[in-house]
Amino acid sequence: MTFRIAPAPHTKPARSTGQVMRLVCYALIPGALAHYVIFGPGIIIQLLLATITAVATEFLFTQARRRTSHNTLADYSAVVTAVLLALSIPSLAPWWIIVIGTVFSIGIVKHLYGGIGQNIFNPAMAGYVVLLVSFPLQMTSWPLPAELSNFSVSFYDATQLIFSGYTADGYNVQQLKAGVDGISMATPLDTLKTGLSQQLTTPEITNNPIFSGIAGVGWQLLNAAFLLGGLALIATRVISWHIPVGLMLGLAVPALIGSAIAPDQSIGLFMHLFGGATMLGAFFIATDPVSAATSNRGRLYFGLLIGFLVYVIRTWGGYPDGVAFAVLLANMCVPIIDKYSQPTVYGHKGSSS
End-to-end, the C-alpha distance of the chain in Å comes to: 34
Longest dimension (CA), the chain: 83
Q: In this structure, are residues 247 and 306 in contact, taking their beta carbons and an 8 Å threshold?
A: yes
Which residues lie closer than 8 Å to 185 by C-beta, 6 or more apart?
A: 141, 142, 143, 144, 173, 174, 177
Rounded distance between C-alpha atoms, residue 178 and residue 139, angstroms: 19
pLDDT at 245: 97
Mean pLDDT, all residues of the chain = 87
Q: Which amino acid is at 208?
A: N
Per-residue pLDDT at 351: 45
Domain boundaries, the chain: 15-147+149-184, 185-337
- Residues of the chain whose pLDDT is less than 50? 1-3, 5-11, 179-181, 351-353
Residue 344 DSSP class: P
d(CA 115, CA 61): 9
Q: What confidence score (pLDDT) does residue 313 get?
A: 94
In this structure, which amino acid lies at residue 16?
S
Confidence (pLDDT) at 63: 87
pTM equals: 0.89
| CA–CA gap between residue 241 and residue 233 (Å, rounded) | 9
Residue 282, pLDDT score: 97
Residues 6+ apart with CB under 8 A from 118: 290
pLDDT, residue 317, reads 87
- pLDDT score at 7: 47
Give the model's pLDDT for residue 208. 81
Q: What is the pLDDT of residue 74?
A: 75
Please give the DSSP secondary-structure letter assigned to residue 285.
Answer: I
Q: Which of 334, 228, 224 is nearest to 289 (CA)?
A: 334
Q: Tell me if 206 sits within 8 A of 268, measured CB to CB.
A: no
In this prediction, residue 147 carries a pLDDT of: 79
- The one-letter amino acid code at 328 reads L
Q: Is 2 exposed, middle or buried (0-12, 13-18, 19+ CB in 10 A)?
A: exposed
Q: Residue 8: what pLDDT?
A: 47
97-132 as b/e, with b when 16 or more CB fall inside 10 Å? bbbbbbbbbbbbbbbeeebbeebebbbbbbbbbbbb
Contact between residue 265 and residue 202 where contact means Cβ atoms under 8 Å apart: yes
pLDDT at 93: 94
